[in-house]
Amino acid sequence: MGGKYLSVVPLNKFGLWTKTNEKRRLFSIGFEMTARCNNECRHCYINLPAGDKKAREKELSLGEIADITEQALSLGTIWCLLTGGEPLLREDFIDIYLYLKKKGLLVSIFTNATLISDKHVQLFKKHPPKNIEVSVYGVTKETYEKVTRRPGSFEAFSRGLDLLLENGVRVRLKAMALRSNAHELLTISSFCRERTKDYFRFDPFLHLRYDRDPKRNAEIISERLSPNEIVALEQSDPERFQALKEDCGNLILSEKSEHSCDHLIKCGAGNNSLVIGFDGRVRLCYSLCHPECVYSLRDGSLSDAFLNFVPKIRDIRSNRKEFKTKCNGCSLINLCLWCPAHAHLETGKLDKHVDYFCKVAHAREKMIAMP
């Protein structure tokens, strides 16, 4: 553990967590069931081709997922998310879903809805998921397929979403704010709110690839909105803008000393939830994939990962001057996109400043200060 730019201070002389850790509970787990996807979205940080044999060979089997689930239940897990890639690409998706439901777990699913069929609808009606989140990349064929780069994907998405809604399956809709769909975002928002009146969210932040593919990363960067465009989009959404205004006292720190400790991880990542990658590697959150911060369940146990490995990762610290003087002491840290996971994806280092994130934070500060 540790490296050229990192130091780790273990919580006891053995580098293990203390006995108080026995009271910790792993409330939720997320299974990235596959990295493969039937779309090829321009902004995606994980997707591999649907027919990628190497990726498929690395995927956890139903038996491995069952074993991990049993371990999770013993740690107190009550909720499970199935995501990808596109989870419905798994031929054993229904078997996995039924196993998790029969274990009493609340199960949510993230999907693009293009593979939804009558058999899935019947499954979800008989064994309802907690919810299904569907991404909406556009509400016209031209925009949607500019993002997905898959002919016919808009028609498949429309059919799948209609099947879910018409059969009363609980659906939540969300959107990514991209250069390719920016002209349609207000229409996308209306489309989503009309169909799921109690829920809609959009995300203007596109983080880079897990595999650090330079060509794909360049595509992602080209899809990012500018800081001023992000602020304009947030202002155009009354609920989001009002939330930012109401929470500005919490989002902008009054004193730098409140955030001056040298720990890198300041959020709740890993405290009561974990992500299990398609290849069985545990992460504290979906974005934290630094080689020092992953744990292979094929070489260990979920209990060891949660009780011993996670606390050591959460105790990673940085003594780099740049980290101390820029990000760590900044009063706008809660308005910023910066975190060690995203910094690593952008720069290869967990504790490095990212100029784009900084500009977004300052643009948001100006927006909040407006009367």
Nearest 5°: CA angle at 261, between 257 and 265?
Answer: 125
- Are 82 and 108 contacting, i.e. CB atoms less than 8 angstroms apart? yes
What is the predicted pLDDT for the residue at 10?
38
User: Mean pLDDT across the stretch 140-154?
Assistant: 98
- Does position 102 have pLDDT exceeding 90, yes or no? yes
What is the predicted pLDDT for the residue at 277?
97
Assign 3-state DSSP to the chain and report helix, strand, coil percentages, each to 5: 45, 15, 40
Confidence of residue 13 (pLDDT cuts 50, 70, 90): very low
What is the predicted pLDDT for the residue at 257?
44
Residues of the chain with pLDDT > 70, as a percent, come to: 90
Entry pTM: 0.89
Give residue 253's region: left, alpha or beta (phi > 0; psi -120 to 50): beta
Confidence of residue 238 (pLDDT cuts 50, 70, 90): confident
So where are the chain's domains?
25-225+267-316, 249-264+318-371
Q: For residue 14, give the 3-state DSSP assignment.
A: coil
Residue 147's Cβ-side half-sphere holds a number of Cα atoms within 13 Å equal to 27
pLDDT digits (tens, 9 = 90+) for 261-306: 888 998 899 999 999 999 999 999 999 999 999 999 999 999 999 9
For residues 38 and 191, give the distance between their C-alpha atoms in angstroms, rounded to a whole number. 24
- Are 41 and 154 contacting, i.e. CB atoms less than 8 angstroms apart? no
pLDDT digits (tens, 9 = 90+) for 221-236: 999 999 999 999 988 8
Looking at residue 226, the DSSP 8-state letter turns out to be P
Question: Which numeric CATH code is attached to 25-225+267-316?
Answer: 3.20.20.70
Amino acid identity of 157? F
Confidence of residue 53 (pLDDT cuts 50, 70, 90): very high
pLDDT digits (tens, 9 = 90+) for 300-334: 999 999 999 999 999 999 988 888 888 887 888 88
For residues 282 and 31, give the distance between their C-alpha atoms in angstroms, rounded to a whole number. 10
- Are 287 and 275 contacting, i.e. CB atoms less than 8 angstroms apart? no
The two tokens of residue 163 are 């099947």
81 compared with 256, residue with greater pLDDT? 81
How many C-beta atoms surround the C-beta of residue 15 within 10 A?
14
As a dihedral over the C-alpha atoms of residue 64, residue 121, residue 105, residue 207, rounded to 10 degrees, the angle is: 70
